[in-house]
A = this chain, B = another copy of it.
């Protein structure tokens, strides 16, 4: 199973009054890893590939378990895997660890749907993307 990894340095504005990264911000981290993943697949910069085609990837289901707090100054390693690809949806798996100690911070998944922004309806993933996602899913660990 291929894994796409990226790192993120926790900013002051990511942490809340409990001095730890607010739980909602992990979903922003996941989204950022996804952004970088599509760029890695050659579909960037930004979501240019998607916006040019008026394709949008709204989330339809998310889940996260929090295992250890992370705080200001931590560098986090976020790993993305493709857990499942269907015609209209993709399920990403995410694992967040502290980069220096390897401590598991959080793990979860996000299911996103391909949608046409003009008609606001689910569509099949364009074959070009589906191919890339499937190839990534199959390829050996990077």
Contact = CB atoms under 8 A, between A and B. Distances in A.
A46 B117 CA distance: 20
A48 B12 CA distance: 12
Given A61-B65, A66-B59, A73-B45, A28 B16 contact: no
Contacts of A23: 27, 58-59, 62
A18 to B, nearest CB: 6
Identical subunits present: 4
5 contacts: A17-B19, A24-B24, A44-B73, A61-B65, A69-B120
A25 B55 CA distance: 22
B66 A64 contact: no
Given A18-B56, A24-B27, A60-B65, 7 more contacts: A12-B16, A12-B17, A15-B17, A24-B28, A46-B73, A61-B64, A61-B66
Contacts of A25: 24
Contact of A46 (B32, B69, B71): B71
Nearest to A71: B46
